[in-house]
Amino acid sequence: MANDPSEKDPNAKPPEGPAGSGATPPKPATPAAPSQPPASAPPAGAPHAKPAAPAAAAPPKPPAPPKEAPPKPVPLDNELVQRLKARFGEAIREATLDRKQAIVLVAAAQLREIARYCRDDEKFNMLADLTAVDWPKREQRFDVILNLYSFPKNERLRLKAHAAENEPVPSVCEVWPAANWLERECFDMFGIVFEGHPDLKRILLPDEWQGHPLRKDYDILKQDTAWVRENLGIESGQ
């Protein structure tokens, strides 16, 4: 096929010498043979591991870059975090920087006040997203995540709060009206009750649906088999 990367080789137009790379299937660490013409500029960001090898003009993979440290979360203590800690003290549990994105773990009980502070004083005027993650093995199984964005500062911030299964979380609808449908979706998918929400009912699933699908203990396969058995009277083939 014309789109197969091994076929397209800008440097291999006339058949080359014995090491014509156009015909060679890509081998990870094989340097191209010396008969190849001097290479054009190496692909950016891929420093030569073997200085003797002409840097690859051939699409077969470039020499392996030195392994960078795998990304992982690191603690964060910048001015924003310090201001938050100064203002809310113990409610700010932890601050991390993961993949260069700021995450602040807060106490769920103070979520509304912290949100209001972030909107008014720290100028995070847009709620980009509000969602949740389920960690069933933890005692407070839900992570409620608020992704904020500040137009004036062009900065993002993530607020995280732990919530237990039957523990209501304060709603931030008064702070950002955008939270209305987002919290309804969280309720629908996870069963997290948002206190103070004007109209907390299911949004994506029918009103009479039982269960909260995005919880880790909601087994789609079991649900499907049960539904098929009940409504169609046959065994589901899954």
The contact set with other proteins (CB under 8 A) reads 2-5, 8, 10, 40, 43-46, 56-57, 59, 61-62, 64-65, 68, 70-73, 98-99, 101, 103, 125-129, 131, 133-134, 145, 147, 151, 154, 156, 158, 176-178, 180-182, 189, 202-206, 213-214, 216, 218, 220
DSSP-based three-state secondary structure for 180: helix
Q: Which is nearer to other proteins, 68 or 235 (CB)?
A: 68
Rounded to whole angstroms, how far apart are CA atoms 11 and 58?
Answer: 7
Q: Which is nearer to other proteins, 37 or 65 (CB)?
A: 65
208 exposed, middle or buried (CB, 10 Å; 0-12, 13-18, 19+)?
exposed
Q: Which is nearer to other proteins, 43 or 168 (CB)?
A: 43
Least distance in angstroms from the C-beta of 36 to other proteins: 15
DSSP-based three-state secondary structure for 121: coil
Least distance in angstroms from the C-beta of 145 to other proteins: 7
Least distance in angstroms from the C-beta of 70 to other proteins: 4
Rounded to whole angstroms, how far apart are CA atoms 147 and 169?
Answer: 16
Rounded to whole angstroms, how far apart are CA atoms 207 and 175?
Answer: 27
Least distance in angstroms from the C-beta of 212 to other proteins: 11
Rounded to whole angstroms, how far apart are CA atoms 197 and 208?
Answer: 20
Least distance in angstroms from the C-beta of 185 to other proteins: 8
Q: Which is nearer to other proteins, 89 or 138 (CB)?
A: 138
Q: Which is nearer to other proteins, 89 or 151 (CB)?
A: 151
In degrees, rounded to 5, the angle at the alpha carbon of residue 101 between the alpha carbons of residues 143 and 77 is 90
